[in-house]
């Protein structure tokens, strides 16, 4: 039964929810909210089953591939969406969050590598069982950084739209209600700080793992690798955004931080595009590929891990 659930199943449910969100702009309905929640909950349930099934396929290093990172990030975004519409049922959060969810699912289905990390082989190469813990910390921190940037991007886009409408004294669109600028600014700021901390941890643990894999047993990934450079640029843009938020007066920082969050989002998309192999060659993931897989486990291709 578990293997019968595919990405298309829950992606279709989320697509229906997005269509219903768009329909708010066209007409009113008394039952639309309940239908939206039903489809979103059904999609999340199928999504959870799919992730559980993938975790069972690789019990040693569950959900450790690039595809898994994108799928788990999409799952967390859906949870955030359901949480937000529970407390703000009138807000059009879905118009900003659900396209990001569908984009992550599309990248996971068509581009991202699905080979999990072979931890036993890596441990044999490095001679350190602690590599498992470091790898887990690296994966989780990068995952949370991705989610935080996406949430910050959505909040930033809502802030810029709301600020532009108020500046021009335009009436709100029918069915397109958004929270206050203060609320959006607070969410955006918190998301940027969380993303900065998590990405910093991810870079630190990635650097440690890279140093452990010393020649001649496995080659180190160079600092000029495209995914390393794009991740560093993303980190620096987050640092600039946090600095602006700390130095500028609260009344003036909102728009600037929102713009910087959008720029950070673009850098993150570049890093993910490199990670899934959309363009440019990267040695990321080569450390585990260099290891000797256990019997019955294929070695992963280069660039297959986050």
Q: What is the DSSP string of the chain?
A: -GGG--HHHHHHHHHHHHHHHHHTTT---SSHHHHHHHHHHHHHHHHHHHHHHHHHH-SSSTT-SHHHHHHHHHHHHHHHHHHHHHH-TTB-THHHHHHHHHHHHHHHHHTS--PPP-HHHHHHHH--TTHHHHHHHHHHHHHHHHHHHHHHHHHHHHHHHHHHHHHTTPPPPTT-B---HHHHHHHHHHHHHHHHHHHHHHHHHHHHHHHHS-TTTSPPPPTT-HHHHHHHHHHHHHHHHHHHHHHS-HHHHHHHHHHHHHHHHHHHHHHHHHHTTSSS---TTHHHHTS-PPTT-PPPPTT---
pLDDT for position 41 = 93
Show the domain range for 124.
117-289
In the chain, which stretches have pLDDT less than 70? 1-3, 58-62, 64, 112-132, 209-226, 248-254, 274-306
pLDDT for position 102 = 95
pLDDT for position 45 = 94
Does residue 241 lie in a domain region? yes
Q: Is 143 exposed, middle or buried (0-12, 13-18, 19+ CB in 10 A)?
A: buried
pLDDT for position 46 = 94
Does residue 242 lie in a domain region? yes
Does residue 77 lie in a domain region? no
pLDDT for position 44 = 95
pLDDT for position 288 = 44
pTM: 0.80
32-57 and 7-23 helices cross at what angle (nearest 10)? 160
In tens, the pLDDT along 1-31 reads 455 788 899 999 999 999 999 988 888 877 8
Number of structural domains in the chain: 1
Q: Phi first, then psi: what are they for 96, rounded to 5°?
A: -105, -35
Does residue 31 lie in a domain region? no
pLDDT for position 61 = 61
In residues, how long is the chain? 306
pLDDT for position 299 = 40
């Amino acid at each position: 039964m578990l293997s019968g659930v595919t990405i298309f199943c829950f992606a279709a449910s989320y697509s229906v929810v997005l269509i219903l969100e768009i329909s708010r702009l066209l007409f009113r309905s008394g039952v639309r909210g309940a239908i939206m929640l039903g489809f979103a909950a059904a999609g999340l349930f199928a999504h959870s089953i799919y992730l559980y099934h993938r975790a069972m396929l690789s019990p040693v290093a569950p959900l450790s591939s690039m595809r898994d990172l994108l799928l788990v990030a999409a799952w967390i975004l859906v949870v955030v969406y359901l949480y937000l519409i529970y407390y703000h049922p009138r807000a059009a959060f879905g118009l900003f969050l659900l396209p990001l969810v569908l984009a992550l699912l599309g990248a996971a289905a068509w581009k991202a590598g699905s080979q999990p990390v072979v931890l036993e082989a890596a441990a044999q190469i490095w001679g350190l069982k602690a590599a498992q813990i470091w790898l887990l910390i690296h994966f989780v921190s990068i995952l949370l950084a991705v989610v935080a940037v996406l949430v910050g991007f959505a909040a930033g886009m809502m802030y810029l739209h709301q600020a532009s409408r108020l500046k021009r004294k335009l009436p709100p669109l029918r069915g397109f209600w958004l929270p206050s600028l203060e609320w959006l600014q607070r969410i955006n700021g918190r998301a940027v700080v969380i993303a900065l901390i998590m990405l910093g941890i991810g870079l630190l643990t990635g650097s440690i793992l890279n140093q452990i894999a010393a020649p001649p047993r496995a080659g180190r990934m160079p600092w000029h690798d495209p995914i390393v450079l794009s991740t560093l640029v993303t980190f620096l843009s987050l640092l600039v955004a946090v600095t602006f938020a700390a130095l500028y007066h609260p009344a003036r920082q909102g728009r600037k931080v929102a713009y910087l969050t959008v720029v950070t989002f673009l850098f993150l998309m570049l890093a993910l595009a490199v990670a899934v192999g959309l363009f440019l060659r990267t040695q990321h993931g080569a450390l585990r590929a260099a290891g000797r897989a256990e019997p019955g486990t294929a070695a992963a291709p280069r660039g297959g891990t986050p």
